[in-house]
Amino acid sequence: MIMTMVQAINQALAQEMEKDDRVLVLGEDVGRDGGVFRATEGLFERFGPERVIDTPLAESGIIGASIGMTALGLRPVPEVQFMGFIYPAFNQIISHAARMRNRTRGRFTVPLTVRTPYGAGVKALEHHSESTEALFCQIPGLTVVVPSSPYDAKGLLIASLRSDDPVIFLEPTKLYRAEKQEVHDEPYQVPLRKAAVVREGKDLTIIAWGAMVPVARRAAEAAEAEGVDVEIVDLRTLSPMDRETVVAAAKKTGRALVVHEAPKTCGLGAEIAATIGESALLSLNGPVMRVTGPDITVPLPKSEDFYYPGPERVLRAIRKLMEY
Amino acid sequence: MIERFDPLKGEKLRVIDEAGEPLAGFDPGLPDSELRLVYERMVRTRAADAKALKLQRQGRFGTYPPSRGHEAVQVGLTSAMSRGDWFFPYFRDLGMYITLGYPLADYYHLWMGNEAGLRTPDGLNIYPISIPVGSQIPQAVGAAMAAKYRKLGIAVVTTFGDGATSEGDFHEGLNFAGVFRTPNVFVCVNNQFAISVPRARQTASATIAQKAVAYGFPGVQVDGNDVLAVYAAAREALGNARDGRGPTLIEAFTYRMGDHTTSDDASRYRSKEELQEWERKDPLLRFRMYLAKKGLWDEAFEKEVQDAATLFVEKAVAEAEARPSATPDDIFAYTYAVMPPDLAAQLADLKAFISESRR
């Protein structure tokens, strides 16, 4: 069926809940309202209030309760309404979910998937445009996933729900309804920890994820008109990272450009640049370059365009790197 | 019974007075053999705690939070639990571990500095010790939500100190519990201090138990140095939880007789006189006087119990110290269900470094 990313996410949740009664959804407005983006629409009617739980407004409570549920064998899918509101739950995520397996030498694991809308580009209020994925990528034990298409969103979410590790599943709000795509009706998995080469090229490699993948595609199309053949790697799982695919793609073209909307300093681009530097230095024709958000707070809608990397900024960087 | 003690009126459940005399009406009526077993558990807890402090001073233990003074809460609470119940502890819960049958050697192994000691043996429903204060409370609530969803008919117990009641997770957890009517028993071990900060600096509420009123479920303050009072309140609260009558908050009013941890010096913030006053209220002493009045305690029994406790503790120390040290593999292997290639490379590099430096 042709569907949007938010529909694909909804279908993944419904199908996994149908298949496995250990899977349940909890969070703010996920029940009767179907979630503020409608990602859980219809689940309350179908699975009832015991499995689609409208909770009090308390992020640490939602994640803490989810961790406790895993102790008794459940596989909860808590939703945090926006990534900017996940910080009260940091203690539960970082101090407990991420390390319970290690702390108990494997006796207790925390198979939960925290879903949260993420990223800028939708002209929202403050705190509704955050892309602080790098904060989670530094935490051992967490798996951080970002889909960039409806097809991947369904397959990656199903893989996350079946994973025995805690997963932070970041859903780019800009892509929720941006494009429709053919998505298999039956459940399927897109493997975690596996990046995808979504565009083959020979001159320069862009590494991107989430809403920056379509931005990179548009930049690549423009570059093609200038005779530059761009390869694009969609990272998909940010941590643990598929370094093999990243390094191979960088070696192939000899030029690597990381594009992310998060601020530059200590963003995941730095880790990717270091990885390429460590493993592909002698294959490079120039430095690993980055197009990122600046090191400022995401501005309110009137100035968001100054912040948000678009195809023109990426194209400018492509030209610079080709001329290096 | 619990609702007969109104926390808003400062009423406190007590079964045995400070002279060991039984008070009319609330004795849980445990058989003699059970009463003696409870005493044995308290003695074992104190012996295991004293040994831990000794080992720490000898450099054979890491930083350790002593339990002396908490034996009535720890043993009274867990003696009332059933096999299927779950326990979400905090970090000063030695007597709970002993009563629930967690191997003392494992417990020691943890405080000697090895995570392997925190691997709860299969069949025991004990979640690991939670060190970030209060963060185990919402987890215990989630476990209780799962128990309700699964219709298990069990209770989920969690413990925390008076300091934890200032944390957001205390509010979020108890609020969830009230809203979802979860089968929880919340036990606040109010030992009057959060390291150095006194109870009065944590809350302006007259009692901690009364906070339950605002969450819409019963709260009761019990004399935390009276093991039968703790047992009686816990038994009722556990029964209510298992039977679908919702959560309870129990405030066990007690005193930490030792330092916060072996790195702390409590004489900096509390007086000798205060400590001496609480020494007179020692939970072991009080229960011993009660047992003696019932003809269940004499010097011969005391010797028997003490000797057994010494053996129990020494055996655990020997076992814990005989355990193999953690290897580099151990500290990497449990980060993910399947080790990512990059982590495997880091492990290989660490091993290479170790073998190079041994050469």
Q: Which chain B residues are within 8 Å of A103, Cβ to Cβ?
A: 115, 118, 128
**Topology (CATH level 3) of domain A2-182:** Rossmann fold (3.40.50)
Is a pLDDT exceeding 90 seen at residue B358?
no
Task: State the sign of the Cα–Cα–Cα–Cα dihedral B89, B95, B97, B101.
Answer: negative
The helix (H) or strand (E) run that includes residue B156 is strand B156-161
For chain A, which residues make up each domain, given as ranges?
2-182, 196-323
User: Strands A143-145 and A237-239: what pairing?
Assistant: antiparallel
Q: Distance between the two ends of chain A, CA-based, in angstroms?
A: 45
Q: What is the mean pLDDT of residues B335-339?
A: 98
Chain A interface disruption, residue of B158, B176, B329, most A CBs within 10 A:
B176
Q: What is the mean pLDDT of residues B316-331?
A: 96
Task: Return phi, psi of residue B244, to 5°.
Answer: 80, 20
> In whole numbers, what is the pLDDT of chain B averaged over residues?
96
CB within 8 Å of chain B, chain A residues 241-260: 241, 243-244
Q: How far is A115 from chain B (nearest CA, A)?
A: 18
Q: Which chain A residues are within 8 Å of B132, Cβ to Cβ?
A: 91, 95-96
CB contact under 8 A, B86 and A244: no
| Sole residue written with tokens 């040290």 | B325
CB proximity list for B6: less than 8 A, separation 6 or greater? none
- Say how many CA atoms lie within 13 Å of A9 toward its Cβ: 31
Concerning whether A128 is annotated as a catalytic residue, the answer is: yes
pLDDT tens for residues B92-151?
Answer: 999 999 999 999 999 999 999 999 999 999 999 999 999 999 999 999 999 999 999 999
pLDDT value of residue B252: 98
pLDDT tens for residues B236-269?
Answer: 999 999 999 999 999 999 999 999 999 999 999 9
Instruction: Name the token pair of B281.
Output: 């209220």
Is a pLDDT exceeding 90 seen at residue B359?
no
d(CA B348, CA B206): 57
d(CA A278, CA A180): 39
pLDDT tens for residues B71-98?
Answer: 999 999 999 999 999 999 999 999 999 9
CB contact under 8 A, B139 and A64: yes
- Say how many CA atoms lie within 13 Å of B25 toward its Cβ: 7
Give the burial class of A284: count Cβ atoms within 10 A of its Cβ; 0-12 exposed, 13-18 middle, 19 or more buried: middle
The helix (H) or strand (E) run that includes residue B197 is strand B197-198
AA identity, residue B205: S
CB within 8 Å of chain B, chain A residues 60-89: 60-61, 63-69, 71-74, 76, 88
For residue A240, is the peptide bond before it cis, meaning its omega torsion is within 30 degrees of 0?
yes
For chain A, residues with pLDDT lower than 50 are none
**Secondary structure of chain A as H, E, C letters:** CEECHHHHHHHHHHHHHHHCCCEEEEECCCCCCCCCCCCCCCHHHHHCCCCEEECCCCHHHHHHHHHHHHHCCCEEEEECCCHHHCHHHHHHHHHCHHHHHHHCCCCCCCCCEEEEEECCCCCCCCCCCCCCHHHHHCCCCCEEECCCCHHHHHHHHHHHHHCCCCEEEEEEHHHCCCCCEECCCCCCCCCCCCCEEEECCCCEEEEECCCHHHHHHHHHHHHHHCCCCEEEEECCEEECCCHHHHHHHHHHHCCEEEEEEEECCCCHHHHHHHHHHHHHHHHCCCCCEEEEECCCCCCCHHHHHHHCCCHHHHHHHHHHHHHC
pLDDT tens for residues A15-45?
Answer: 999 999 999 999 999 999 999 999 999 999 9
| Catalytic residue IDs of B | 256, 260, 269
Count interface pairs A-B at CB distance under 8 A: 142
CB proximity list for A277: less than 8 A, separation 6 or greater? A288
Q: Is B188 helix (H, G, I), strand (E, B) or coil?
A: strand
d(CA A288, CA A190): 28
Q: What pTM was computed for the model?
A: 0.97
| Domain pair A2-182 / A196-323, same fold | yes
Q: What's the CATH number for B2-326?
A: 3.40.50.970
d(CA B31, CA B13): 21
User: Strands A230-234 and A196-199: what pairing?
Assistant: antiparallel
Q: Please give the DSSP secondary-structure letter assigned to residue B166.
A: G
A92 lies within 8 A of chain B by CB: yes
CATH class of A196-323: alpha beta
pLDDT value of residue A287: 97
Q: Are A198 and A187 in contact (CB under 8 A)?
A: no
pLDDT value of residue A122: 87
Instruction: Name the token pair of A117.
Output: 């809308």
